[in-house]
Structure formats: C-alpha cells, structure tokens
Amino acid sequence: MTLVRPLAGALALALGVGAASLAGAVVPAAPAHADSIRDAQYWLDSLGIREAWQTTRGEGVTIAIIDSGIDAGHADLRGAVIDGTDVSGAGTSSGGPVAGSSHGTMVASLAAGRGSSSTSGVIGAAPDADLLSISLSFGAGERPGDAQVADGVVWAVDHGADVISLSLTRNQLDWPESWDDAFLYAEQNDVVVVAAAGNRGSGTEQVGAPATIPGVLAVGGIDRAGRASDVASTEGITIGVMAPSENLVGAVPGGGHRYWQGTSGATPIVAGIVALVRAAHPELSAAAVVDRIVSSADAVTSTVPDPQYGYGVVDAAAAVEASIPIATSNPLGSLEEWISVHRRGDAEARVVELEPARAGVARAPADTVMDALPVPSWALTELARVLPGLLVLGGVALGLAALALAGVLRFVAGRRTQ
C-alpha cells in the first residue's frame, strides 16, 4: 500500500509519503466582497481569456474535476456541475465536497465558474462548460490514493469528460501500473488530461506524477510579473505550459471566497482554456488540441521546451484563434508508446506465463529437470539471434563432412581395385 505525506498550507489533509496529494495551498486573507473578487482575476486579460470569449465560452464541453469535491450550490457554480461521484468512500455520492476541504470547489471555480452575476464572483476560464465532480480523500483509513485517482479517471471518461483536471501530485516521478490502464483509457478515448506540476512551497522540488505521464499537459506556475514562481511552482522536463499560480482567488463551500496560491489553481485555468479550444475546434483530436495549446504559448526563454517554463505562458486567444497546422500526434508524447517500451518486460513475462493455458494447447508432463525449468526470455532472444549463423555453420560443416566421406570412399574403392 502506498502512503502519502502532508503538503504545507491550510489543506491539512492526513497524507503520508509517496501517493497522490492535493497540489495547492490556501493563503489566508481577509474576506473579500464579490465585486472585488472579479476585479482580482487579472489572468482573464493577461492570458487572453476575455478575448477568446469573443469566439467561445466553452459551451458543449465537459471538464472533469478530480479533487476533493465541489459545492455545486455555491452562487458562482450554480448550474455548472452536471454529474458526480465519490471514489474515496468518505464523500457524497454526487461528488460534493469532502468534509473540511474547500480545495475542489476553488479548483472548479477557476475552470468553469459562472460568477454570481455578470460582474461579480469568480468566473472560470470556460464559464459555459459543464463540470463533473469526482471527489477524493486521502485521509487516514481511506482507500489508497493511487486507486482513487485511477478510478476517478476511468469514471470521468465513461461519463463524457472531454478534459480532465488533476490538481494533485504523487510527489515522485513514477506512477503505479494501475495508472497506466486509467490514463491510457483517457488517451484512447480522446480526452485531454491536464495536471499540476506541484509547488516548491509544499515540498515538491521536481514535477511528480501524474504530470510526468506522457501525453499529459503539465502546468507550472508564474507570478504576476510572469516569472516562474519560487514557491508556487516547480521544474521538470515534462512541463507543458505556465499559468498564474500566485494571488489567485477561488470560491469556497458555503458561498464565500478565498485568496490562494499553487499550481492547483494554474491547472484548472489551463483546463478551462483547453475547453475553449475544444469548443472552438470540435474537429480536433485531443492530441491536436494539446499541440495548439503548446504551439501558441508565449515562449519565455530561447530554449523550448524549457525545464522551468515548458513551451511558455498559455495564451487563450492564440490557442483559440491562431492559424495552426493540425497535428497528428501529441507533442508531449504518447502513454501507449511509453508502455510498449517501458513495460515490455512485464508484458512479455505475462505472455509467457499465460501461454500454456491457451485453448487447445496441451502441455506434456515434464520428463526431465531441464524440461521443468522455465526458459528465460533473454535466452530465447539470444537463441533467435544466433540461430541463423548456427544453421549456416552447420550446413558448411555437413558439406565438409560429406566431401571428406566421399574422399574416404574413393580411397577405399581405389585400394580394393589394386
């Protein structure tokens, strides 16, 4: 069983070392009035989101928020959540917020908040998109976090998600094989997966899974000046794009708002922008959508992708409106290809183990100790490599032997005639 460790900040979840943990931190602040909340959303203009709304606001696209649950009754989120579930065993069947956690509601508001009015409250990057709420809980006694995440991804795909937003991190580069199956299921069903890179301020010094999974759009964080955040971001070669992760504001259960920071907030902003692209270009595959996002990003350094900034700061207007050739593959890789290379040994072992059980194949009892021992896969591979050469050498040897035998027979025959 994998355990997880706690992140710094007001989330205060009972997590231990190694499995998934929510990737954001709440920054306590004085309560704000609803109209000042809208004014505080500087990223709506800096990322070109308002400009992109002239084309689409995300209608017809469904974003799955796999997090701590959403307060669907919040004024900023009324009508946004169309379905939900709980995979932790601690939440409500509809995906409502797990007791004591505001994280999922804040995340959801930045992705597809409606605002409490046209000028007040939190409005998401894709305010007309629909939301699915899948609630997680990594407290003591809950189901293993890895299993919750895998189940949440599969449920989201099965219930019509076009985009999956994951503001959590495993705090390590690798992931369990159960995630192979779940995230491959999303890839094969044309779903864009967006994941948080993690935060130095919460102890994540490098990008962790699921943001390390090939094909996943990993999101790093910048401050208001456009620099990589010292505390609310991290670095790694899998980062795709950057979005604001400081001085954020989000909706919290019960109707209020709170300031916060972290790539937990940057991630749903990008997920909302992905929804805008999917709404504006429904003909595009998930791979082509990711390509539009990274190709249209504003590069920060001369090296692209850069381990701190990825392809650059996401640009919603360019991603929606720019003329970009349609890509046929995901620039961030393919999980299916990765599995075929890196899990191949395991796959071969499973095939060898299952082969005797094939229908119609009888296996004779082992007559000798050698027959009873399994043949290592490397030995079979080496035999296949050298067998042609052995056959050639064998043929030459037989030919020489035949010539020698013919010479002997002629010699014997000659002696008999004398």
The rounded distance, in Å, linking the Cα atoms of 418 and 411 is: 11
Sequential DSSP letters for 87-111: SSSSS-TT-PPPTT--HHHHHHHHH
Q: What is the pLDDT of residue 381?
A: 45
Coil, helix or strand for 158? Answer: helix
Q: Residue 174 catalytic?
A: no
Q: Residue 103 catalytic?
A: yes
Residue type, 141: G
Which of 250, 264, 259 is CA-nearest to residue 221? 264
What are residue 193's phi and psi, to 5 degrees? -110, 125
Which of 134, 136, 150, 151 is CA-nearest to residue 65? 134
Domain spanning 21-342: CATH superfamily: Peptidase S8/S53 domain (3.40.50.200)
The rounded distance, in Å, linking the Cα atoms of 371 and 67 is: 53
pTM: 0.78
Q: What is the pLDDT of residue 90?
A: 87
Radius of gyration of the chain from Cα atoms?
29
Share of the chain above pLDDT 70, in %: 74
What are residue 362's phi and psi, to 5 degrees? -100, 140
Sequential DSSP letters for 280-296: H-TTS-HHHHHHHHHHT
- What distance lies between CA 339 and its chain's CA centroid? 14
What does pLDDT average to over the chain? 82
Q: What is the pLDDT of residue 44?
A: 98
Q: What is the pLDDT of residue 385?
A: 54
The rounded distance, in Å, linking the Cα atoms of 83 and 387 is: 59
Look at residue 21 and tell me whether its pLDDT is greater than 90: no
Residue type, 316: A
Q: What is the mean pLDDT of residues 18-38?
A: 59
Active-site pick, 21, 86, 101, 103: 103
Q: What is the pLDDT of residue 386?
A: 47
Q: What is the pLDDT of residue 203?
A: 86
Structure tokens at 3: 């355990």
Look at residue 29 and tell me whether its pLDDT is greater than 90: no
The rounded distance, in Å, linking the Cα atoms of 329 and 294 is: 13
User: Are 66 and 280 spatial neighbours (Cβ–Cβ below 8 Å)?
Assistant: no
Active-site pick, 102, 135, 264, 296: 264
Q: What is the mean pLDDT of residues 281-285?
A: 98
Packing angle of the helix pair 177-188, 335-342 (nearest 10 deg): 140
